Structure 1
Amino acid sequence: MNMIIAVIISILASGLVGVAAGYVARAFFANGELRRTKDAVEGQLRRAEARSREILVEAKENALQIKSDAQQGISNSLRDIQRQETQLETREDNLKKQNVDLKRKFDEVENKDKSLELERDKVKKIDAQQVEALEKISNYTAKEAKEILIDKTNKDIEFELAKLYKEAETEMYNQADDKAKEILASSMQRFASEVVGESSVSSIELPNEEMKGRIIGREGRNIRALENFTGVDLIVDEEPKSISISCFDPIRKQTAIVAINSLIKDGRIHPARIEELVDKAKNEVNREIKKAGQKAVFDTNIKGLNGEVVELMGRLKFRYSYGENVLQHSVEVGRFAGIIGAQIGLDEEICKTAGFLHDLGKALTHEIEGPHAEIGADVAERNNLPSTVVTAIREHHDREMSCAESYVVAAADAISAARPGARNDSLERYIERLTALEEIALAKEGVQKCYAIQAGREVRVMVDPDTIDDIKASSLARSISEEIKQKLNFPGQIKVIVIRETRAIETTGDFN
């Protein structure tokens, strides 16, 4: 027991000794660390003091440099200011001198102005005195004299202007006439086409008399079928081996010709076969019309025409006027119009198109009432052709025209029709037609004189003003127009003009 207590006491004593020894060792080590820290802090302080002294020295040096620069800048600025002040003083002195000079000149100008004003007053007085003296001498006031002088001057100016205008007009007409002849001659020389030798076909040769009988058929059934299906009149006369065709529509006539020729070749002639071959003939003629229209457009080199217009132009292949093929005539007029238009500065394409289409209405005259020029213009307008083309088509037979293209188309139309051989018309027939026109008008009551002019396109009727009044004049023109339409066969349109003139005449007495 005592040993255990002794051991425990020994252990406790050892522990106390260890604790005391640890504390002493810790205190010793703590004092050493403290000394090292203190030494480090003192070193840092010494270095900081040394650095601060360096910074202070640098700051003083920079401050001295800044002060030196500032003093140098101030010195330069002062020198500039002094120099500018000197310049300003010099300018001020110069301005003062100039101001003195200007004042002196102004005084001189003012004095001269006063002198001029005095002189002006003197001139006014002298002028007034002279005007007064002139008024006394001439017995006119200044206003009246001025009006007389202005009137005389105006008359002189008008006379000189009229004289110059007349000279210019004469020269212009002379030059225009020469230029027109040159252009027309050049156009005709540049274009030369074949002379028309065709004429409208009105009869068909048959191989024998038997064929004529077969075409007539039993009790005339075949010829009636032909007439019904084609719309033509077939004339069978005593002339051997031929049959005549009569129709106002050239397309129907051509269809009948093709159908009859096909029947002659086929040999089977009866109503059913006739109907079948007439249908084929219509298709064949339509194809021929389209090809003819396309070829004419190609030959004339015109672009932009739609199918309806091209087909209508193709129908003119079977239309003749005075023996002249209208489609060939249209191609010629288109080319002539293009050449003439280009030479006088107009649009060549417009002139060429208007010339080519000028007789477009002739393809429809058997279907639509009215002059072919109006019909053609309506068709062109409906197909959205240029307004100038429409106007030229409508006006190409008129005396008064509204655009230059109309005159060009009319001239080209006349050139084409006037070519030697273009139209199969003798002088005797021409005179007969004009005479017939005049006779119809002269037969009317109240007509004194009658003249057919412009190749029979216009009839001028002079009437007795005591017999025919204004209302009767209109009725007379309409009556003559209707009678011409019924009795005579003329291509195109004829204008009837009734002229009623009243004259009042008085004679003075004899002079002593």
Structure 2
Amino acid sequence: MTFVFIGLGVAAAAAAAFFGLRLLRERLRAEAEGRASRIAADAESRAQTRLKEADLEVEEWRSTAEARFESQTRQKREEQQRLEERLKEQERNVARKLQLLDQRHQELDEREAKLKEREDRASSLEKEAHSLIQERRQKLERVAGLTARDARRELLREVEGEARQETSSLIRRIEEETLAEAGSRARRIVAEAIQRLPASDLVDGVITVVKLPSDDMKGRIIGREGRNIRALEMATGVDVIVDETPQSIVLSSFDPFRRAVAQMAIERLIEDGRIHPARIEEMVARARSEVAESLDALGESAAFELGITGLPHRLQRLLGKLKYRMVLGYNLLDHSVEVARLASQMAMLLGLHPEVVMRAGLLHEIGQVEESRADTHPILVSADLAGKFNEDPRVVQAILALHGTGAEPSVDAALLKVAEKAILARPGEKDTSLQGFMERMRSFEAIASSFHGVTRAFAMRSGKEVRVLVEADAVSDGDVVTLSKEITSRIQKEVEYPGAVRISVIRETRAVDYAT
């Protein structure tokens, strides 16, 4: 019985093992199939992702290729347009040259026709004179019974008188035609030379705009209770105007040199970042020195612009000073360069060498800034300086001709005179009201500076205030009031001005020491 149970147990165990193995195999198969399906799905997903990436790469490559193609096409199109414009410009130049050649050929044909007509007229007159001589000779011999020699002498006397009369009338007519033709040609040459000049912009002669990095910089320039702006105005003699104009301030003064110094000092202060009265005075002194040192470079640059080389150092410095001198509202250096350029253009159109009139036009105003000879006419000073520094005598003669005395007439002098008048006659070139304002400002400063103890004098606020700085050792506090009244009295007597002028005499004492 025991063996039966054991057999049944073994059989049951075998059946259980069989069914367990079968279930395990089915589970493993199901897991394998699930894993295989997941792997297949993952592979399919990766394949789809790769296909999308490939599509994106292809699309990106296609877009890049299209952009590159469009860029190359646009560049080639622009280059083609530039070439077409250049060809059109060359065609226009050729057309203009052909037109000028046609005009010259026409003028030559007209002159040839006139000469032919004059020759025919002279030939006919000669034939008429010969026939008249024969007729008179026969008549005299027949009527007066004169000898052939006497008749010939009488006839020659009459013919000579008639020939002189006809010759004088012919000469007068030729002179009139020549003058008319010369006037027309001169007007054409001047007009063509002026057209070749570059147009110059008219600028305000009393203000300079300084750009700021931001509007916050305005507050730093003004300083606490306005101490920075007062120090800046005191050091430069320039009105500093801070208004609502975004990122800019305005410097106002009749003296371009002071405005240039103030502009450079403010720009250096902005770069440095330290803005206080002591630093302002230091920067103004440095800027004044640098602007003074740049005068030679300005003169050399103006001469180089015209192609003039070999100017002496002294003449270059005088030309640089012209940059900061205004007369009748125009800048003297720009005016000199334009006169030189116009005169040289006219000389080239006439077939002359332009070097003489170009140098004369550039140097004809340097006498305006020669302070040691203020009692002599500036043109005479300019001519004297040009001769002193070994300029060509023709240059000196052309400059003297502008004064109107002491110079023989020459073609160079005539061209320089015409160029000077043409430049001054341009609309907006001269401003007499501005010139009167500048002369009044200089008179204020000259009167104030003439008193003992005055170091500097600045005409400010458009002529409404004169600030006078005095030496503390030479003028006491009690003398300040007396000095202001004396300056006021002289200004009232010697200068005509509108409204009222405030005279501010400033005496400042400073003590400096160093701790070591």
TM-score between the two structures when normalised by the length of structure 1? 0.45
- Larger-gyration structure (1/2): 1
TM-score between the two structures when normalised by the length of structure 2? 0.45
